[in-house]
Amino acid sequence: MDQKKIYQIVVTSSALLRFQETILNYLINNFSTSRVIEIEQKIYKKIETLNSFPLKGINENIFNKSGVLFKSLLFKETRNLELKIIYFIDEANQKVYVTDFSPTLMHPSKKNKP
């Protein structure tokens, strides 16, 4: 029987830092606490799908200068919140490394404007 490979997901420290400083900060300033928790959980559930389907993302040629094939998943929650989850696959060790959370669309809500 053909068994499906399961990849270990590793979120790098630089990706975590970017998430905390950019993404989480934006969420906290623009959404309620319960909504922040909900969105954060959805982001991590999207990442978890890579453990079974690491090839599902699109190739990110802009990052592929090092010979490593980077891919991305698009996470879209609202019309004002969209980000790319950047990752690469280490096939030899069956790991997926999430290396960045790249905001593609993050507009502050009107409620926070002076």
Tens digits of per-residue pLDDT, 77-94?
Answer: 988 889 999 999 999 999
Boundaries of domain holding 82? 8-106
Residue 2, in any domain of the structure: no
Pull the structure tokens for residue 8. 């270990």
- Reported as a pLDDT band with limits 50, 70 and 90, residue 106 is low
Flag whether 86 is in a domain: yes
What's the average model confidence in pLDDT over 32-52?
Answer: 96
Q: What is the pLDDT of residue 6?
A: 94
Contact in structure between 87 and 99 (CB atoms under 8 Å)? yes
CATH number at residue 34: 3.30.2310.20
Percent of the chain with pLDDT strictly greater than 70: 85
The model carries a pTM of 0.84
**Is residue 105 scored above 80 in pLDDT?**
no
Predicted pLDDT of residue 107: 57
pLDDT interval class at 1 (50, 70, 90):
very low
Number of domains in the chain: 1
Beta-carbon contacts of residue 94 (< 8 Å; ≥ 6 apart): 5, 6, 7, 8
Residue 5: per-residue pLDDT: 87
pLDDT digits (tens, 9 = 90+) for 49-73: 999 999 999 998 776 666 788 999 9
